[in-house]
Homo-oligomer: A and B are copies of this chain.
Amino acid sequence: MDAQEQGFFTEADSAEVVIGRMQKCTDPRLKEVMAVIIRHLHAAVKEIEPTREEWMEAIMFLTETGHMCDDWRQEFILLSDTLGISMLVDAINSRRPTGASENTVLGPFHVDGVPELEMGTNICLDGKGEPMLVHGRILDVEGNPLEGVSVDVWQANDEGFYDVQQKGIQPDFNLRGKFTTSANGRYWFKAVKPKFYPIPDDGPVGKLLYKLERHPFRPAHFHYIIAKDGFDPLTTHIFDPDDPYINSDAVFGVKESLMAKFVPVEDPAKQAENGFDGLYYDVEHDFVLAPKGA
């Protein structure tokens, strides 16, 4: 028996020795997942060659990240977000045929039980911010309009806060709504121009971002969950391409296909036609749903 058969540790065979120890595991998926994790962890440590002090810094970073987590704050998800892992997991789980709209991260601010609204309703309940008209069509990959599609939308206000972050300041369900398309596949509603906002940056993840000379901001966006039976549900955003952080979303949520031009409308006739009494921003974006399991 050589050292590896006996399970003795050597620097050269470190990953194989550890993987060899779980051969009796009866959960094949766990075994596979752990083998990949162990192989990459050991390879990373061998590349980094951390000092004992650096290893301890990593232990303390993870510990502080864990201690920051409670019922309201999930610092490990922030870590996953800021290292692009959340977006990668989202991408792996939402591969779609060409032409279908792309997914992006859900984020922590989705709320269930949002009011079902008539098309055209203004989801801004407190009248604050620059008005917008948001509209477009929901189509299948052949370009046919889809009827009976649920369009669940939510957004931050013009100061970068969601209603749930400002309870008592913003009305409940401010800047949220659920719409259902009719036969023409069209959706339209009134809203306000969203603003960029920071992810929580007062914990270990924020400190790491600043050490890396990164900022914590997400460019302005609208969130959507667009769903209809028989189609792959679409969780996505549309982004303002003129946002100062459009090229550096702290959580890597921006994809090229998710840009939607926010056009200022200065023509009084058009303003009046759409029920505005001054400047508003118009954003038109079509969403394309892929058939389930495509």
| Interface residue ranges, A against B (CB under 8 Å) | 3, 6-11, 14-15, 17-18, 21-22, 24-27, 30-34, 36-52, 54-55, 59, 62-67, 69, 74, 76-77, 80, 83-93, 95, 211-214, 247-249, 252-256
| Shortest CB distance A79–B (Å) | 8
When C-beta atoms are compared, the residue in chain B nearest to A2 turns out to be: B256
Task: Name A40's contact: one of B7, B40, B92 (CB within 8 Å).
Answer: B40
Q: By the criterion CB–CB under 8 Å, are B55 and A76 in contact?
A: no
Task: Name A6's contact: one of B15, B62, B89, B247 (CB within 8 Å).
Answer: B247
When C-beta atoms are compared, the residue in chain B nearest to A16 turns out to be: B84
State A254–B74 Cα separation when bound (angstroms).
38
State A161–B177 Cα separation when bound (angstroms).
61
| Shortest CB distance A32–B (Å) | 8
Given known A25-B213, A92-B45, contact A62–B51 (CB-CB < 8 A): no
Q: By the criterion CB–CB under 8 Å, are B9 and A255 in contact?
A: yes
Q: By the criterion CB–CB under 8 Å, are A63 and B66 in contact?
A: yes
Q: By the criterion CB–CB under 8 Å, are A74 and B59 in contact?
A: yes
Task: Name A7's contact: one of B67, B91, B248 (CB within 8 Å).
Answer: B248
Q: By the criterion CB–CB under 8 Å, are B256 and A42 in contact?
A: no
When C-beta atoms are compared, the residue in chain B nearest to A62 turns out to be: B76
Having A37-B48, A45-B89, one finds 16 other A-B pairs with CB under 8 Å, namely A8-B247, A9-B84, A10-B255, A15-B84, A21-B212, A22-B212, A25-B211, A31-B212, A36-B47, A42-B84, A42-B85, A42-B88, A49-B92, A51-B93, A66-B69, A67-B69
Residues in chain B near residue A9, CB distance under 8 A: 84, 87, 91, 252-255
Contacts A/B (CB < 8 Å), 23 sampled: A3-B256, A7-B249, A8-B256, A9-B84, A9-B87, A9-B254, A14-B91, A18-B84, A22-B214, A25-B212, A26-B213, A30-B211, A30-B212, A31-B212, A32-B48, A33-B50, A40-B40, A40-B43, A42-B85, A59-B77, A63-B74, A64-B66, A66-B69
State A87–B7 Cα separation when bound (angstroms).
13
State A93–B93 Cα separation when bound (angstroms).
40
Give the 8 A-B CB pairs with smallest separation, nearest first.
A66-B66, A24-B213, A18-B84, A11-B91, A22-B212, A40-B44, A40-B40, A9-B252
Residues in chain B near residue A86, CB distance under 8 A: 55
| Shortest CB distance A108–B (Å) | 12
Q: By the criterion CB–CB under 8 Å, are A33 and B48 in contact?
A: yes
Residues in chain B near residue A83, CB distance under 8 A: 18, 37-38, 41
